[in-house]
Amino acid sequence: MTIWWLLAVVVGVSFFATGALRRYALSRSLMDIPNSRSSHSVATPRGGGVAIVFVFSGVLPLLACIDVLSWGNTWALLGAGLMVAIIGFWDDHGHVPARWRLLGHFVAAFWALFLIGGMPPLYMFGVEFKLAWLGQILGAIYLVWLLNLYNFMDGIDGIASVEAICVCVGGALLYWVVGSPNSDYSLSWLVPVVLAAAVVGFFFWNCPPAKIFMGDAGSGFLGISLGVLSLQVAWVAPQLFWSWLILLGVFVVDATWTLIFRFFRGDKVYEAHRSHAYQHAARIFGKHSTVTYSVVVINVFWLFPIAYMVGLKSLDGLLGLILAYLPLAFFAVKFNAGSREADSSC
């Protein structure tokens, strides 16, 4: 089976699996009912992201068998991703207290870090920083924050899907640019591309106006999978860790800015809300599609070129990160990230 056939099969299976999950959700009345904290106005089935979990997890052992991915990295992605997905699936079907969700998320994060060899050294302005035991703590916090911010940012039609596709395709292109046919990178680009293909199959159902939502199982799975991939590649090409952080900039900046703003205002940061910049923007523009496809434009024409320069070592990673994030911070302020709905104006 050629690579292109494999990707076509992944897209197809994800598409049909999402359709089956939609029928299941409708039959079990697993619906997101609009309320004061929602960004949608029509009751919509949820839990479609399980298709992404199912397909990507199913292909990972195959990639290990053909030496695209080591078994250690495979079990890191599988174990951490499935733990987070199960917690999310449980929460989608009922309610899991925040403290138990957080505990499970940290267990998944430490599992992944143990199997990939821990937090890789960071390079800033040509200096290597080995973080030792502190790196394990920071790495776990990074993974837990990334999976949770992905859940927070999955609030309008298609936005979490297009972000994952852009990050994965961008990350794969960087593997290709940095590597060579005979290097450790030779087929490593295939891992994020397979994840992107699984999301594409789901996106057919999730594009605005969405026929099904991703749910906590899918969004959390994507968040921690992207985080683990960013750490795995950093062990081989340290500058690509910064590149992946740059590619994730839209979600990182909006979610982090909103969390900080709400924390200092005294809000309960773990409660659902609709005060992210992208949610304010969706209300201002009156439709989700404008914001969702703007994320694609930002990723392709702003974040990827900077990530590319960092990948080629033409730009220091930390400097590139600051450069990439500054306009995103401006937009977070412009669209009132963290402010209550009454402040949704520019």
- Measured CA to CA, the distance from residue 260 to residue 264 in angstroms comes to 6
Q: What residue type is assigned to position 322 of the chain? A: I
- What is the model's pTM? 0.93
Q: Which pair of structure tokens corresponds to residue 28?
A: 């079990």
Task: Give mean pLDDT in consecutive 10-residue pieces for the chain, a chain of 346 residues.
Answer: 88 98 89 64 85 97 91 96 94 82 96 95 87 91 96 93 98 82 63 97 95 94 97 92 97 94 79 85 92 97 97 95 97 88 52
Nearest to 64 by CA among 52, 53, 51, 73: 73
Q: What residue type is assigned to position 175 of the chain? A: Y
Domain that holds residue 251: 3-32+39-343
CA 159 to mean position of chain CA atoms: 10
Rounded to 5 degrees, φ, ψ at 128 are -90, 130
User: Which pLDDT value is given to residue 182?
Assistant: 47
Residue 154 is assigned to a ligand binding site: no
- Measured CA to CA, the distance from residue 182 to residue 170 in angstroms comes to 21
Q: What total number of domains does the chain contain?
A: 1
Q: Degrees (nearest 5) of the Cα angle 159, 334, 245?
A: 50
Residues 60 and 70 sit within 8 Å (Cβ to Cβ): no
Residue 73 is assigned to a ligand binding site: no
- Measured CA to CA, the distance from residue 215 to residue 219 in angstroms comes to 6
